[in-house]
Amino acid sequence: MAGYNAPIMDMRFALDELAGLPELAALPQWEAAAPDAVGAILDEAGKFAAEVIAPINQSGDAEGARLENGVVRSPAGFKQAYRQFAEGGWNGLPFDPAYGGQGLPWAVSAAVSEMWQAANLSFGLYPLLTQGAIDLLLHHGSADQKRTFVPRLIDGSWNGTMNLTEPQAGSDLGALRTRAQRANGHYRISGQKIFITNGETDLSENVVHMVLARLGDAPQGVKGISLFIVPKFLVRDDGSLGERNDLRAVSLEHKLGIRASPTCVMSYGDDGGAVGYLVGEENRGLDYMFTMMNNARLSVGIQGVGIAERAYQQAREFARSRIQSRELGGDHGSVAIIRHPDVRRMLMTMKAQTEAARALTYYAAGALDRARALPDAAARTRALGIAELLIPVAKAWSTDIGFAVADMGVQVHGGMGFIEETGAAQHLRDARITQIYEGTNGIQANDLLARKLVRDRGAVAAGFIADMRQAAERLSGVPGPASTAIRSRLLAALDDIERATTWLVATWRDDPRRAAAGATPYLRMVGIVVGGWTMAIAALAAHRRMRRREDDAAFLEAKLVTARFYAENILPQAGALLTAIVDGGDTVLALSDERF
């Protein structure tokens, strides 16, 4: 498997030009996000990812996590790497310094997280869920819960998990059966949870499980769900660890990918009930859990970016070194396959889609930052609306790209891509789960349509489309065929998405099933068009920087070429998706169940 080098210039470009890091760093809350400080953080994270985490990716996949007498044994090198990770303070980047965090914007944390995910997706799941648990507790936990759990989660000595799914209740959380009973100031939890990432581990001292359960007198359905903190070891008043709680991992799943990460079947209450502590109010657990779920959904989108970057880097290096066949139009001997047009097409597609997904996810993270910190209330509300609109897109579209780019990476390798030793197949296997967990990509599409688009009759989407039009129009002032091509293609795609948005909002009223049949094509359209908008912003920024002679000229020229490639090769797909959205629903629903 080829090594990993963090694309720090690309990351800084996306942070500055799309996430709006200079604007964020100007706010009093984020004085620590000065350019020099962020540059140093990215450099150190890149070194750690390349030198410590990436080298145990392929070996961890081959060895896998294993369960021995109720204890998970992580693959060789993971304990040492995690210890260094925790000592480096990497868990705490976006959190309040009062709890041991570093007080940086989520956008910066997103860039650093991309490095962990690209270097080693299995390893990257530890901070991903731990940060989600921290975010949940900071928003909804009591003062005592924050004081007890958050500092230890931030310093990495404890890790966090999310316990939702049960054998009979996958995406339908209203059907969950895990029970909670009131018991002398706490609760007793009993039941089984499945697909629990890092539910048992030997990397940290304690595991803090965030568990959804139902009280005996609770209402039926999702309105009767409560949320509990259920630690592996109970915590004494002085913060030290007490006795083992009544919970255990009974088995590990045998998986297609992310084999170094233990995916556990968890049993609670085999000996009387695990001690749990209620978060917030009874019967409001799903509301609170959505904080962690939305955090995780954006983070999984970043996983898609990371695995796409890793697969692209490996395919690019292979294409540069693999000598095979003469170049078309050439009269010399065999050349590196990167000289062949179809290989170049694949590499350009991989590069353009990865850069667009990176820009979209960083922009969404920056929107969350603005929603939390801008001084103007109306500006905060608008930023939150855009962030909520884009989070399902960031999760689903970016992970679709991650898998597609990994698939193309196998194709660039040819037959060698099908051989495990090259590592290209592992990227493909690892990437597949990202389209499933934290809500399948179909669920994300339904969320985008039914919860985000319909609730305000497309108002936030319409405002965002108008903003994207303004960016397209700014390209009219930039000379050259590249800007003309990008502008015309983007404007055409914006016309398509405007028509699709209007049609879906109108159709939902009278025929929600027909509208829902177009939900996934619509999400893909939003991803493609917003990706095209980010590439247009990149092109504008590249022109500006070239005039000022900022950055490396070759880097900026590559930005322009990549943006034009995206406009001419990927943006036109929006028109085909419009047809699927508006005209395709009838046949989606036409056949009887027996005819499938």
pLDDT in tens, the chain (596 residues): 889 999 999 999 999 999 999 999 999 999 889 999 999 999 999 999 999 999 999 999 999 999 998 899 999 999 999 999 999 999 999 999 999 999 999 999 999 999 999 999 999 999 999 999 999 999 999 999 999 999 999 999 999 999 999 999 888 888 899 999 999 889 999 999 999 999 999 999 999 999 999 999 999 999 999 999 999 999 999 999 999 999 999 999 999 999 999 999 999 999 999 999 999 999 999 999 999 999 999 999 999 999 999 999 999 999 999 999 999 987 778 999 999 999 999 999 999 999 999 999 999 999 999 999 999 999 999 999 999 999 999 999 999 999 999 999 999 999 999 999 999 999 999 999 999 999 999 999 999 999 999 999 999 999 999 999 999 999 998 888 999 999 999 999 999 999 999 999 999 999 999 999 999 999 999 999 999 999 999 999 999 999 998 778 999 999 999 999 999 999 999 999 999 999 999 999 999 999 99
User: Which of 137, 149, 111 has the alpha carbon at shortest distance from 10?
Assistant: 111
In degrees to the nearest 10, what's the CA dihedral of 137, 143, 146, 148? -140
Question: How far is the C-alpha of 193 from the C-alpha of 81, rounded, in Å?
Answer: 28
Which residues, in sequence order, are CB contacts of 142 under 8 Å at separation 6+? 279
Give me the amino acid identity at 147: R
Judge whether 549 and 584 are in contact, CB under 8 Å: no
DSSP string, 74-134: PPTTHHHHHHHHHHTTGGGTTS-GGGT-----HHHHHHHHHHHHHH-HHHHHHHHHHHHHH
Question: How far is the C-alpha of 482 from the C-alpha of 539, rounded, in Å?
Answer: 9
- Other beta carbons within 10 Å of 421: 11
Question: How far is the C-alpha of 545 from the C-alpha of 13, rounded, in Å?
Answer: 11
Residue 110 Cα distances to 12, 45, 229, 302, angstroms: 12, 12, 26, 7
User: How confident is the model at residue 442, as a pLDDT?
Assistant: 98
Strand boundaries in 13-94, DSSP class E: 66-68, 71-73
Any catalytic annotation for residue 205? no
Question: How far is the C-alpha of 383 from the C-alpha of 387, rounded, in Å?
Answer: 6
Give me the amino acid identity at 329: G
DSSP string, 436-496: TSSS-HHHHHHIIIIIIIGGGTTHHHHHHHHHHHHHHHHGGGS-SHHHHHHHHHHHHHHHH
User: How confident is the model at residue 18, as a pLDDT?
Assistant: 97
Candidate list 438, 550, 568, 594, residue with the active-site label: 438
SS3 of 186-247: the string is: EEEEEEEEEEEECCCCCCCCEEEEEEEEEECCCCCHHHHCEEEEEECEEECCCCCEEEECCE
Report the interhelical angle of 519-547 vs 553-569 (nearest 10°).
150
Judge whether 395 and 361 are in contact, CB under 8 Å: no
Exposed/middle/buried for 306, CB within 10 Å: 0-12, 13-18, 19+? buried
CA-based R_g, the chain, Å: 24
Residue found by looking up tokens 């999400």 in the block = 523
SS3 376: coil
User: How confident is the model at residue 329, as a pLDDT?
Assistant: 84
Judge whether 335 and 327 are in contact, CB under 8 Å: yes
Question: How far is the C-alpha of 474 from the C-alpha of 476, rounded, in Å?
Answer: 5
Two tokens, residue 554: 């070759």
Question: How far is the C-alpha of 446 from the C-alpha of 452, rounded, in Å?
Answer: 9
- Other beta carbons within 10 Å of 470: 8
**b/e per residue, 60-93, with b = 16+ CB within 10 A?**
bbebbbebeeeebbbbebbeebbeebbeeebbbb
User: How confident is the model at residue 549, as a pLDDT?
Assistant: 87
Which residues, in sequence order, are CB contacts of 235 under 8 Å at separation 6+? 148, 149, 206, 241, 242
> In this structure, are strands 206-215 and 158-163 parallel, antiparallel, or unpaired?
parallel
Backbone angles phi, psi at 247, to 5 degrees: -150, 155
DSSP 325: E
Exposed/middle/buried for 258, CB within 10 Å: 0-12, 13-18, 19+? buried
Length reported for the chain:
596
Question: How far is the C-alpha of 521 from the C-alpha of 464, rounded, in Å?
Answer: 19
> In this structure, are strands 263-268 and 274-278 parallel, antiparallel, or unpaired?
unpaired
Give me the amino acid identity at 538: A
User: Which of 405, 565, 412 has the alpha carbon at shortest distance from 482?
Assistant: 565
Which residues, in sequence order, are CB contacts of 269 under 8 Å at separation 6+? 179, 188, 189, 190, 191, 246, 247
Question: How far is the C-alpha of 186 from the C-alpha of 103, rounded, in Å?
Answer: 32
Which residues, in sequence order, are CB contacts of 528 under 8 Å at separation 6+? 397, 493, 570, 571, 573, 574, 577
